[in-house]
Amino acid sequence: SLGSRNVYKRQLFLCGCYMVALGAHTGEECMAKHHEAESYVAAVYEHPSILSPNPLALTSRQQAFELMNQNLDIYEQQVMTVAQKGVQIIVFPEDGIHGLNFTRTSIYPFLDFMPSPQVVRWNPCLEPHHFNDTEVLQRLSCMAIKGDMFLVANLGTKQPCHISDPGCPNDGRYQFNPDVVFSNNGTLVDRYRKHNLYFEAAFDVPLKVDHTTFDTLFADRFGVFTCFDILFFNPAVRLLRDYKVKHVVHPTAWMNQLPLLAATEIQKAFAVAFGVNVLAANVHHPVLGMTGSGIHTPLKSFWYHDMENPNGRLIIAQVTKNPVGIIDAENATGEMDPSHSKFLKILSGHPYCEKDAQEVHCNEATKWNRNALPIFHSEMMYDNFTLVSIWGKEGYLHVCSNGLCCYLLYERPTLSKELYALGVFDGLHTVHGTYYIQVCALVRYGSLGFDTCGQEITEATGIFEFHLWGNFSTSYIFPLFLTSGMTLDVPDQLGWENDHYFLRKSGLSSGLVMAALYGRLYKRD
């Protein structure tokens, strides 16, 4: 689905450095100052891939490679550009070389053969004749050598199988959607074959989940997964839980869907939730709703989201080697602000606070509206959310669905004309994928009607200082946070208090579009 038609670009400082956009200030002086033991320099490229004019038509291998070579030429230009800036790893997007919307048959000429890197140690650039149909791998390997950097890219591959294999498709071959990793000497270090396919009839799901990691001298261990994988336990969560991964490379071909699943939004939420760095490269096709790439740490992001400009974009950033997470409830220090004190008193049921169904009074001077607010329902992200409207400059609300109750304690310095609501959903999402979610969301109405709550908007002026929390039954909770202009924001605090997970934020620099706690119950998928 299509997002906003505005241009959103943002530059933030990270480890004393910055994002470098193509055509922007190069910042060589800043790059030269980085301390190798504490940081590394990474790049991602949002690629406006050259697509087949008729992806359903049959073509020859030569014709397929001619099209792929055009995309590979652009890749090589990016590699040589970032090599001059000291980049040590570059990530390219999913489907960036061969394109989109193939059938199983029509994609076949676009597929390389790739041996398992666990079985064969191979340098395609230096050993091009070891295997047939490896032209794409050869070019990528040579790029890594020319740029003297690790290179991560996505391509299609084929693997013959025997009829005795019970999983072998009828055409006698597996077709996979893998990411490949090359070291700076061109060696094929490893591959990851996409497990959670998103309506990709051209490809097969591997019989066994790949948990792919690779080690580097500049940043220890990286993990690899692709696009839709980010929403599932395998392989994404397993990599972080069991393989000591601190850095993730994430090729993607992501179609944005607001308010909860924009590309940069979920990339950032993953970095925050797990305390890791995420290097995410998306394809750039605004007409298909595809944009949104970034280099994200838990605390800072360098991103690109542009629904108007047809051009690609390089993002270069100096990235901390050991990412630091957001302060949570257990390690927070410093003097407690009054709003957080109120929040803690509400959770503890302290007599200082008087509660009823919709509001709380935490001192004599507070005069909040005691009228019960009506509950309503509205479809958001194809799910039937239960919501309650937000009125007034301050208040306390809650709304429940199934076993999940969501709460909001808020103050508004000034009232805007826009309407907001607190929403909850606890159930199985079944459109464009099937997975179980628990969501507490503070969202803006599209206009004045209840049915416009949670529509795809990107601009807002409403300023909030708030605590958002819920009694989640999962520990896998992703904090989603967007302000006006598709700007990514970071919570001041996250954590558990009295069996409730909360997000706290004050001091918004622009209007709030959406803040949400997006919980995943993987076992109930």
| Choice among 17, 125, 135, 194 that is catalytic | 194
Pairing of strands 39-46, 173-176: unpaired
DSSP H helices, 101-250, are 135-147, 238-242
| Choice among 15, 17, 46, 94 that is catalytic | 94
User: Can you tell me the distance from the alpha carbon of 125 to that of 24, in angstroms, rounded to the nearest whole number?
Assistant: 32
User: Can you tell me the distance from the alpha carbon of 50 to that of 97, in angstroms, rounded to the nearest whole number?
Assistant: 8
CA dihedral (348, 352, 355, 361) in degrees, to 10, reads -130
Instruction: State yes or no: is 440 an active-site residue.
Output: no
Strands (E), 119-209: 150-154, 157-160, 173-176, 178-182, 188-193
Tell me the β-bridge partners of 402: none
Question: Is the preceding omega at residue 310 within 30 degrees of 0, hence cis?
Answer: no
- Both tokens of 16, joined, read 């004393």
User: Can you tell me the distance from the alpha carbon of 167 to that of 206, in angstroms, rounded to the nearest whole number?
Assistant: 9
331 neighbors 341 (Cβ within 8 angstroms)? no
- Both tokens of 124, joined, read 């395609």
Instruction: State yes or no: is 227 an active-site residue.
Output: yes
* Amino acid, single-letter form, for residue 172: G
Dihedral sign for Cα atoms in the order 19, 281, 444, 399: negative
Q: What backbone torsions phi and psi does residue 135 show, to the nearest 5 degrees?
A: -65, -40
| Choice among 125, 142, 227, 453 that is catalytic | 227
Instruction: State yes or no: is 405 an active-site residue.
Output: no
Element (H, E) at 42: strand 39-46
Distance spanning both ends of the chain, measured CA to CA: 24
Give 185's contacts (C-beta < 8 A, 6+ positions apart): 123, 144, 145
Roughly what angle, to the nearest 10 degrees, separates helices 61-83 and 135-147? Answer: 10
- Both tokens of 286, joined, read 């605004």
Instruction: Show which residues are catalytic.
Output: 94, 194, 227
